[in-house]
């Protein structure tokens, strides 16, 4: 493994409450009131060390905010600044920031720091305090012990040797630190999307997502303009009943559109029901009759196969042989 690959596997600004390098997770479970000692500022000797050779997965809200900040369309942002990845060991496609070729650093970092700081991605805000609450049941500390159960939510500190912020004398509660980083808003914006990914992860590989499902997930969670065209320019509104108020909101407000896309994905990929997103009655009837026709066809085919087989067997009986 090259040094870069090695660095990449060890360094990840985590989104999913699970660090690639378990030995860097401090074994202590923290609550919002726990005290942590940490400060990151331009005076630390490691300033921007965590902005290179690293995997930073972007959420739909990150992409929305960053492409607005840069004044470009989502598809241009994706093309220029990201590279595809699979999300948290699932078959769900997503994107991560593409490191610069010349120095393997984030395209937004300069010696003076992050050029998109007030709009930096969620994973950059969470670092170095991870949160585990997505029913994973599996984060291990350096000794291999489970550090959380299946359902509880808690925080943990990720401490890597190169990060000198842990040696600074600033102490604060996890809650204060999260407020300072603007994490609560991000949690709110990312929650439903993270749930989709974790739901998929908990399903394992028994049922693979169809290619169409993967394309839909990728489109809806990376390019909201494309998703908007899908809603208003395809047969979507012939299939789903969406009330007028929701239509107006998703036309005018990209954040509403994003939340709507999460509902659509939960409904189409996992069959979750939402009152504001119902399949039209006649479409359900048409689907049932299509399934019945398919079923009738397969029953007829099975009868034909059985009759052919029976005829073969009959022809082999001695009394039928001349």
Distance separating alpha carbons of residues 9 and 196, to the nearest angstrom: 24
10 binds ligand SF4 (CB under 6 A): no
Instruction: Concatenate the DSSP letters of all residues of 89-158 into one string.
Output: TSS-EEEEEPPPTTTSB-TTEETTEETTGGG--HHHHHTTEEEE-SS----B-TTS-B---SS--EEEEB
164 binds ligand SF4 (CB under 6 A): yes
40 near ligand SF4 (CB under 6 A): yes
Helices (H), 223-280: 224-233, 236-239, 244-252, 254-270
**Residue 64 interacting with ligand SF4 (CB under 6 A):** no
Output the smallest distance, CB 264 to ligand SF4, in A: 28
The end-to-end CA distance of the chain, in Å, is: 72
Q: CB of 56: closest distance to ligand SF4 in angstroms?
A: 6
Does 48 bind ligand SF4 (CB under 6 A)? Our answer is: yes
Do 31 and 174 touch, CB atoms closer than 8 A?
A: yes
Q: Are 204 and 90 in contact (CB under 8 A)?
A: no
Determine, following the binding rule CB under 6 A, whether residue 120 of this chain makes contact with ligand SF4. Answer: yes
Task: Kindly write out the interface string for residues 87-106 of this chain, putting x where it contacts ligand SF4 by CB under 6 A and - elsewhere.
Answer: -------------------x
Nearer to ligand SF4, 163 or 277 (CB): 163
Told to check if 157 binds ligand SF4 by CB under 6 A, we report no
Q: x/- string (CB under 6 A) for ligand SF4, residues 251-270?
A: --------------------
Measuring CA to CA, which residue among 124, 269, 257, 127 is closest to residue 195?
269
Q: Is 116 near ligand SF4 (CB under 6 A)?
A: yes
Site of interaction with ligand SF4 (CB under 6 A): 40, 44, 46-51, 56, 106, 108-109, 114, 116, 120-121, 124, 162-165
């Amino acid at each position: 493994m090259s040094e870069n690959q090695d660095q990449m596997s060890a360094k990840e600004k985590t989104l999913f409450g699970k660090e690639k390098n378990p030995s860097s997770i401090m074994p202590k479970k923290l609550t919002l009131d726990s005290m942590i000692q940490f400060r990151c500022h331009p005076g630390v000797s490691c300033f921007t060390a965590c902005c290179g050779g690293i995997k930073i997965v972007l959420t739909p809200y990150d992409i929305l905010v960053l492409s607005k900040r840069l004044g470009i369309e989502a598809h241009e942002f994706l093309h220029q600044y990201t590279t595809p990845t699979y999300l948290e060991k699932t078959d769900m496609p997503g994107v991560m920031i593409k490191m610069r070729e010349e120095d393997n650093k984030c395209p937004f970092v300069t010696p003076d720091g992050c050029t998109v700081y007030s709009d930096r991605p969620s994973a950059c805000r969470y670092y170095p305090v991870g949160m585990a609450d997505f029913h994973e049941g599996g984060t291990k500390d350096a000794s291999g012990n489970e550090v959380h159960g299946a359902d509880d939510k808690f925080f943990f500190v990720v401490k890597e040797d190169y990060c000198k912020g842990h040696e600074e004398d600033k102490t604060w509660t996890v809650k204060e630190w999260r407020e300072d980083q603007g994490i609560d808003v991000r949690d709110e914006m990312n929650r439903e999307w993270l749930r989709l990914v974790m739901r998929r992860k908990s399903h394992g590989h028994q049922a693979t997502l169809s290619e169409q499902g993967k394309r839909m997930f990728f489109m809806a969670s990376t390019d909201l303009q494309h998703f908007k065209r899908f809603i208003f320019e395809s047969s979507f509104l012939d299939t789903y009943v969406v009330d007028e108020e929701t239509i107006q909101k998703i036309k005018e407000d990209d954040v509403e559109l994003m939340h709507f896309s999460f509902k659509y994905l939960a409904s189409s990929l996992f069959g979750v029901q939402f009152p504001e997103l119902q399949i039209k009655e006649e479409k359900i009837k048409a689907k049932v009759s299509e399934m019945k026709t398919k079923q009738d066809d397969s029953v007829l085919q099975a009868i034909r196969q059985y009759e052919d087989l029976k005829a073969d067997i009959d022809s082999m009986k001695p009394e039928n042989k001349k």
